[in-house]
Amino acid sequence: MYKNKTFCKLTLLAGLLCLAFLLPARVHAQGEFVKAAENESLALYYNPATLAIQVENKATGFVYSSMGQTPPGEGEMNNTWQGMMDSGVSIDIRQSNGSTKTWAISNQEVQLSTRTMENGFESDIAFPEGISLTLRVELTEQGLTVSVPEDSVRESGGDTTLQAIYLYPFLGATHGTENQGYLFVPDGSGALIHTSRQTLSTEPYEKQIYGSDISMGTFKGRTEASFLKEAERIYVPVFGSVMDEEKDGVAVIVHEGAEYCRIVAYASGIRTPYNFIMPKFLIRETYQMKVSQSGSSMTANQPRPNRYDIELRYSFLSGEEADYVGIAKVYQQYLRKEGVLTGTEETGDGVPMKLEFLLSEQREELLWSATVPMTTEKQAETVVQELYDQGIRNLDVVLRGYGKNGATGAAPTKLSFAGKVGSKGDWKDFLRKFGALGLDVSLYADFSRGYEGIGGYGNAQRAQAIDQTLLQTYDYAPFTWLSPTFAVKELEKFAKEAAGLDFAGVAADVFGSSLYANWNKKDPLTRKEARELYQGADTGEMKLSLYAPSAFLFGRADAIYDMPASSSDYYIFTETVPFLQIVLKGYLPYYSGAWNFQADVGQELLRCVDYGMYPNWYVTWEDPIELINTPSSWLYSSQYEVWKDSILSRYQRLNEALEGVVGCQILDRTVLAKDVVRVDYSNGTSIYVNYGTAAWEGSGSGQGESVSVDGESFLVMKGGAS
């Protein structure tokens, strides 16, 4: 696209041509676009025949086109992709013979009834076979809102069913590799697909926001332990395209319908010559339905459609804002406006550190199960006191395995304590002692998984898949997924009991990190209803810490444990970035995965410095060899005495880096060299991180400033002084 100075020159030469350059010539010259709305910063144009749009940034002259920034060459697009590019709305349909097709406004006999509104336009769209919906496109002060009301989506009830809806899939798309931009994908902590490079991947990225719905037939249970690392999931409903870094970009937030939305990203060369990222809203899904006891099955279609409003919010970025940090800031502002991020993170005596104790586990004996004590109350007291005396004063303590059934398989239906590791009275003494020192002590609990042999779970409390089978699998031990309704009730009851014992909070694992519907006829629940239940859980005044929660629970969490610090590292990705951390830093404390599980603790420390993450240790007093033949036999290195020196030294080192930025926001993150980054904070502090083995020297954040950072180290500069 042309820059402002170029436009001025063109205007001087031929004023009448200026508008033609502002809108791509291939469409504007044909007179297909008309103005729908305009405000101080943006102008919206649309094509009445296809509902394609163009949005002009009046300050820069850049035009965002839903038909891609560059037209395709001859023969580069087939009819289906060309239809999706040309149209504002496309849909997937399933016919009576089971085949699926994609229909677009421009390549089907579609009836449109369009009317302009104060800030945009609205169109009733009638596809063939009685499928219809209403599209609304409106300019806002922040950008653009695109929506489809739930009650406007209709089917005739015939053999053709609506499967999915696509809205403006090519808005923000670039052509080929002749650009310096990337697609932002919210996979794990965040990932980029640089569009200046030819990808070797042959498949697009596609994943559902908040993770796959395990109740929809794609769930494959395990019967034994697996040590393969699972792929990361999508935690936040936001994606984006940077057409030209630090020049032009777009951020997209899925405001409504996120739980049924899949994010799909294509690099140039995969199906089309375009780089684009789009939302795919699921109305129905197919699944494998068993038809015999022998296990044979057939493909069936979801009988009832998913009913929900769809709303996308676009923000258009220019200049220095046009990068993934800018997209993160857009989402951060959105969360603040929605009341999700309120206030700032509390500051204390040094950076926080999470210390999780494994107190006991259970081992199956010949006739019964036995409790294997790993850390008693007195031993935990010794550890906490020693760390406190050594200067680690801001401790977040979590107790796991306090009941007779150990850490794995403990049923949260009743809060009890195993005498082998500490009675209720012992733990009250523990709480009084460390509560007076200002330390938080929380109880670990898992309300979503019912482990085999625990009991207390009736049929109505177990979740079922769409084919009415139980959602059973294996994670340390065999378990069944429980109904979200039951999980919420148990959390509320547990929090009340824990508060009565003066515990500071509950550390809820899995809760909200796995979002699934329940097809059990005794407690039917949609994925949307499950999300609303989780959000409405009442834990009173208790601190609620969550392990890797999805964004819909950010507003309920007081702390985040096991913060994602990587992406799925798919072949299509070119870089992993700390998008989640940039969004949350300064508002919500978040902790890394346990450091004693990391292959290289030194590199993990540098990553925590870079990402602003706090340390986390999962420890026992006894040697983990005692855990052989228990569900925690995977725990190979946890003994406090072995890790004590490392805990102290690593904490002190991390505290040097992050103590001065607790409660501050990340303003920017810049890659200075292959293994060197600079992170700038809202209080003027800049932190340089060198992951490489060789020392690095270069210019700093100030003009004429020279900075040197040792290999595998960091440098903190406060207002220009280290």
3-state secondary structure of 633: coil
- pLDDT confidence bin for 406, thresholds 50/70/90: confident
Q: Within 10 Å of residue 349's Cβ, how many Cβ atoms?
A: 12
Q: What is the pLDDT of residues 37-85, one digit of tens each?
A: 999 999 999 999 999 999 999 999 999 999 998 889 888 999 999 999 9
- pLDDT confidence bin for 343, thresholds 50/70/90: confident
Consecutive H or E run containing 114: strand 111-116
Q: Spell out the residues 6+ positions from residue 295 whose beta carbon is closer than 8 angstroms to its own.
A: none
365 or 581, which is more confident: 581
CA distance 252 to 265: 13
Average pLDDT over residues 434-460: 86
Measured in whole angstroms, the distance separating CA 105 from the mean position of its chain's CA atoms is 32
17 or 337, which is more confident: 337
- pLDDT confidence bin for 672, thresholds 50/70/90: very high
**Percent of the chain whose predicted confidence (pLDDT) is above 90:** 77
Does residue 4 surpass a pLDDT of 60? no
Q: Within 10 Å of residue 426's Cβ, how many Cβ atoms?
A: 17
Tell me the β-bridge partners of 363.
370
pLDDT at position 2 is 32
- Residue spans of the domains in the chain: they are 35-214+229-290+306-338, 353-447+491-513+543-563+613-661, 668-718
pLDDT at position 138 is 98
Lowest-pLDDT range of 175-179, 227-231, 312-316, 625-629: 227-231
Using a 10 angstrom Cβ sphere, with 0-12 exposed, 13-18 middle and 19 or more buried, the burial of residue 118 is exposed
Q: What is the pLDDT of residues 211-255, one digit of tens each?
A: 999 999 766 665 555 556 789 999 999 999 999 998 999 999 999
Using a 10 angstrom Cβ sphere, with 0-12 exposed, 13-18 middle and 19 or more buried, the burial of residue 619 is buried
34-327-206-168 Cα dihedral, nearest 10 degrees:
0
Q: What is the pLDDT of residues 81-128, one digit of tens each?
A: 999 999 999 999 999 999 999 999 999 999 999 999 999 999 999 999
Does residue 486 surpass a pLDDT of 90? yes
Q: Within 10 Å of residue 247's Cβ, how many Cβ atoms?
A: 21
Amino acid at residue number 472: Q
Average pLDDT over residues 409-414: 66
Distances (CA, A) of 315 to 42, 55, 311, 339, 367: 11, 11, 13, 19, 63
Average pLDDT over residues 446-455: 78
Which residue matches tokens 């550190």? 353
pLDDT at position 704 is 61
Strands 274-282 and 174-175 turn out to be antiparallel
Distances (CA, A) of 45 to 23, 36, 59, 63, 121: 9, 5, 16, 10, 10
Does residue 22 surpass a pLDDT of 90? no
3-state secondary structure of 286: strand
- Cβ atoms of 37 and 120 within 8 Å: the answer is yes
Average pLDDT over residues 255-268: 98
pLDDT at position 465 is 92
pLDDT at position 475 is 74
| Ranges of H-type helices in 97-178 | none
Average pLDDT over residues 491-517: 94
pLDDT at position 222 is 58
| Ranges of H-type helices in 459-575 | 484-500, 527-535
pLDDT at position 17 is 33
For domain 35-214+229-290+306-338, the question of CATH label 2.70.98.10 is answered with yes
3-state secondary structure of 635: coil
Q: Which of the given ranges, 361-375, 381-395, 403-417, has the highest pLDDT on average? A: 381-395
3-state secondary structure of 34: strand
pLDDT at position 505 is 96
CA distance 409 to 474: 12
CA distance 496 to 509: 17
Q: For all residues of the chain together, what is the average pLDDT?
A: 90
Q: Spell out the residues 6+ positions from residue 587 whose beta carbon is closer than 8 angstroms to its own.
A: 332, 341, 342, 343, 344, 345, 665
Does residue 16 surpass a pLDDT of 60? no
Does residue 6 surpass a pLDDT of 60? no
Average pLDDT over residues 182-190: 98
- Cβ atoms of 687 and 705 within 8 Å: the answer is no
Distances (CA, A) of 234 to 112, 333, 465, 523: 35, 19, 22, 27
pLDDT at position 211 is 95
Lowest-pLDDT range of 140-149, 293-302, 606-615: 293-302
pLDDT at position 405 is 84
Using a 10 angstrom Cβ sphere, with 0-12 exposed, 13-18 middle and 19 or more buried, the burial of residue 124 is middle
Q: What is the pLDDT of residues 540-557, one digit of tens each?
A: 999 999 999 999 999 999
| Ranges of H-type helices in 418-503 | 424-435, 484-500
Does residue 14 surpass a pLDDT of 60? no
CA distance 589 to 115: 47
CA distance 185 to 322: 15
Looking at residue 622, the DSSP 8-state letter turns out to be: S
- Cβ atoms of 508 and 447 within 8 Å: the answer is yes
Q: Spell out the residues 6+ positions from residue 366 whose beta carbon is closer than 8 angstroms to its own.
A: none
3-state secondary structure of 484: helix
pLDDT at position 660 is 95
CA distance 500 to 540: 11
- pLDDT confidence bin for 414, thresholds 50/70/90: confident
Q: What is the pLDDT of residues 380-390, one digit of tens each?
A: 999 999 999 99
Q: 422's torsion region: left (phi>0), alpha (psi -120 to 50) or beta?
A: left
Consecutive H or E run containing 221: none
CA distance 496 to 264: 42
397-424 burial code (b ≥16 CB/10 A, e <16): bbbbbbbbbbbbbbbbbebebbeebbee
Average pLDDT over residues 453-465: 79
3-state secondary structure of 281: strand
Does residue 713 surpass a pLDDT of 80? yes
Average pLDDT over residues 451-480: 81
Nearest CA-CA partner of 561 in 352, 317, 709, 349? 352
430 or 344, which is more confident: 430
11-42 burial code (b ≥16 CB/10 A, e <16): eeeeeeeeeebbbbeebbeeebbeebbeeeeb
3-state secondary structure of 33: coil
pLDDT at position 11 is 38
Does residue 645 surpass a pLDDT of 70? yes
pLDDT at position 364 is 78
Average pLDDT over residues 362-388: 91
pLDDT at position 9 is 35
